């Protein structure tokens, strides 16, 4: 299954915040720059993650983003389902509906495969994603060169 770029960015942001574990507050700009992605795209993903209660933003001079306890414990499958808006793997309706829509088994088979994909991710938490060897690599992304 292929995730949208939006979901990919959101998951990478959550992982970046998980690895610093509140030791430092990162800004959206810092996360975007460390991941080499456009700030505006990352800002949209961050806003959704805030809305979901996965991350918390603190304003002001010493402000920044931090992962919430709920965010660290969140099953990745649940996050992906929400971020992907439980999008169907195949679209059978539209401007020209599929003539098989009433008798097709493909849609159901793909939906079951999609649910199996999400279910396998339900066993993994955000905290699990930043275990070694991933965590040290993520930490190095924010380190100054040299």
User: Where do we find the tokens 């603190």?
Assistant: 58
pLDDT of 43 over the 90 cut? yes
pLDDT of 144 over the 60 cut? no
Backbone torsions φ then ψ of 145, nearest 5 degrees: -65, 150
**Residue/partner pairs of 88-96 with CB below 8 Å, 24 or more apart:** 88/114, 89/1, 89/113, 89/114
Chain centroid, CA 142 distance in Å: 19
pLDDT, average across residues 4-17: 93
> pLDDT digit string (tens) for 44-57?
999 999 999 999 99
User: Per-domain residue ranges for the chain?
Assistant: 5-141
pLDDT, average across residues 22-35: 89
Q: Which two tokens stand for residue 22?
A: 């509140």
Residue 145 pLDDT: 45
Return the percentage of the chain with pLDDT > 70, whole number. 92
- For the chain, the three-class secondary structure string (H helix, E strand, C coil) is CCCCHHHHHHHHHHHHHHHHCCCCCECHHHHHHHHCCCHHHHHHHHHHHHHCCCEEEECCCCCEEEECHHHHHCEHHHHHHHHCCCCCCCCCCCCCCCCCCCCCCHHHHHHHHHHHHHHHHCCCEHHHHCCCCHHHHHHHHCCCCC
Residue 7 pLDDT: 94
CATH code for the part of the protein at 5-141: 1.10.10.10
pLDDT of 17 over the 90 cut? yes
> pLDDT digit string (tens) for 75-107?
999 999 999 987 777 777 767 777 777 777 888
What torsion do the CA atoms of 117, 123, 128, 132 make, to the nearest 10 degrees?
-70
> pLDDT digit string (tens) for 115-124?
999 999 999 9
Closest residue by Cα to residue 29 from 46, 15, 49: 46
Mean pLDDT of the chain: 86
pLDDT of 142 over the 70 cut? no
Return the percentage of the chain with pLDDT > 90, whole number. 55
């Amino acid at each position: 299954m292929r995730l949208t770029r939006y979901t990919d960015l959101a998951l990478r942001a959550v992982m970046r915040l998980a690895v610093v574990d509140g030791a430092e507050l990162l800004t959206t700009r810092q996360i975007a720059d460390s991941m080499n992605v456009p700030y505006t795209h990352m800002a949209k993903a961050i806003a959704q993650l805030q809305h979901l209660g996965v991350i918390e933003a603190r304003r002001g001079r010493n402000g920044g983003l931090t992962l919430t306890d709920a965010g660290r414990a969140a099953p990745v499958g649940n996050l992906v389902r929400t971020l992907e808006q439980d999008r169907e793997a195949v679209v059978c309706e539209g401007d020209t509906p599929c003539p098989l829509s009433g008798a097709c088994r493909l849609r159901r088979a793909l939906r079951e495969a999609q649910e199996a994909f999400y279910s396998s991710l339900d066993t993994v938490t955000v905290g699990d994603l930043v275990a070694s060897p991933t965590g040290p690599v993520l930490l190095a992304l924010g380190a100054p060169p040299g």
